[in-house]
């Protein structure tokens, strides 16, 4: 996608040090936007900002914990003080756990809800306030197919990601008159550090069988979708949940024999990232 309409815009990317957020930082920067890389891993965020600056790009790093409301407010205030504007929030910071409902501990639940749901609320609210006051903005949040379909082992993660979809819709409706759009991405299985930690070998096998495209996605494939929703051209799209999942959510029974001539695979156990 062409990035000229992002030239000179200012984007905050939470979780920008790794995975999907990092790919979004690189794509936004290549499209001419100034980027604020906000991450709990401040050292990696700083190294990425320095690498982009060395290429003549505008980049800044902020270390924060999105589960703390005041740190999200500070992120937005610091961005406005430094750049004078905030056009785009790509909210990618998050954590995952694969644990069956009956084995989910209080600690698992509280960690996932506080980072993936409350942290999203704090960042979206801080950005939404600044953007609506200025009359323009694009908020893109990383939900998941796990927020749409009930995958094995995703009680806490799926509840947080499902809640994030409803936050997206409510904020989209409330901010619609202000020039701010709010959309969510629902990635399927994407090859990142999070998935390397979260997906067991069994999940990986089951998951791949359930994906019509028969492979995991890449962070860049998600970043392309994020950039479209973050661009001025996506001006009439708000409150939408865009699956970036190789057809996972669209699928029912997949008969690979018919498609490829390969022998039939055993019935998959559905799961979601």
Query: CB 181 → ligand NAD: shortest distance, Å?
Result: 19
> Of the two residues 71 and 87, which places its CB atom closer to ligand NAD in the complex?
71
Beta carbon of residue 171, minimum distance to ligand NAD (angstroms, whole number): 17
Query: Which residue, judged by CB position, is nearest to ligand NAD in the bound state?
Result: 19
Nearest-approach distance from CB 22 to ligand NAD, in angstroms: 7
| Cβ-Cβ contacts under 8 Å for 104 (sequence gap 6 or more) | 155, 156
Q: Report residue 90 as tokens.
A: 């790509």
Residue number with CB closer to ligand NAD (189 or 242): 189
Quick check: is 157 catalytic?
Answer: yes
Which string of DSSP letters, residue by residue, matches 5-28?
GGTT-EEEEETTTSHHHHHHHHHH
Q: What does the binding site for ligand NAD look like in residue numbers (CB under 6 A)?
A: 15, 17-21, 39-41, 64-67, 92-96, 115, 119, 142, 144, 187, 189-190, 192-195, 273
Q: Which of 157, 207, 216, 236 is catalytic?
A: 157
For 131-161, letters b (16+ CB in 10 Å) and e give bbebebbbbbbbbbbbbbbebbbbbbbbbbb
- Nearer to ligand NAD (CB atom), residue 42 or residue 179: 42
Minimum separation from the CB atom of position 21 to ligand NAD (A)? 6
Q: Which residues contact 145 (CB under 8 A, 6 or more apart)?
A: 151, 186, 187, 188, 243, 245, 248, 249, 272, 273
The catalytic residues are: 157
């Amino acid at each position: 996608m062409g990035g000229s309409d992002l030239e000179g815009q200012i984007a905050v990317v939470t979780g920008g040090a790794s995975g999907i957020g990092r790919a979004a930082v690189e794509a936004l920067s290549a499209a001419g936007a100034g980027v604020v890389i906000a991450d709990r891993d401040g050292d990696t965020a700083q190294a990425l900002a320095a690498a982009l600056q060395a290429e003549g790009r505008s980049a800044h790093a902020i270390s924060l914990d999105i589960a703390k409301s005041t740190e999200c407010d500070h992120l937005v205030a610091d961005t406005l003080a430094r750049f004078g504007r905030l056009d785009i929030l790509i909210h990618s910071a998050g954590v995952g756990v694969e644990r069956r409902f009956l084995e989910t501990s209080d600690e698992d639940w509280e960690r996932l809800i506080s980072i993936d749901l409350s942290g999203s609320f704090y960042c979206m609210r801080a950005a939404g306030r600044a953007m609506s006051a200025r009359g323009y903005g694009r908020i893109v949040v990383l939900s998941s197919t796990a927020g749409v379909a009930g995958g094995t082992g995703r009680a806490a993660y799926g509840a947080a990601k499902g809640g994030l979809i409803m936050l997206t819709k409510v904020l989209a409706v409330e901010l619609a008159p202000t020039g701010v759009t709010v959309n969510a991405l629902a990635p399927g299985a994407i090859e990142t550090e999070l998935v390397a930690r979260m997906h067991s070998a069994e999940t990986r096998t089951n998951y791949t069988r359930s994906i019509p495209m028969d492979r995991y996605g890449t962070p860049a494939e998600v970043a392309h979708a994020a950039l479209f929703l973050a661009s001025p051209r996506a001006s009439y799209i708000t409150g939408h949940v865009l699956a970036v999942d190789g057809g996972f959510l669209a699928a029912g029974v997949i008969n690979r024999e018919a498609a490829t001539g390969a022998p039939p695979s055993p019935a998959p156990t559905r799961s979601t990232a």
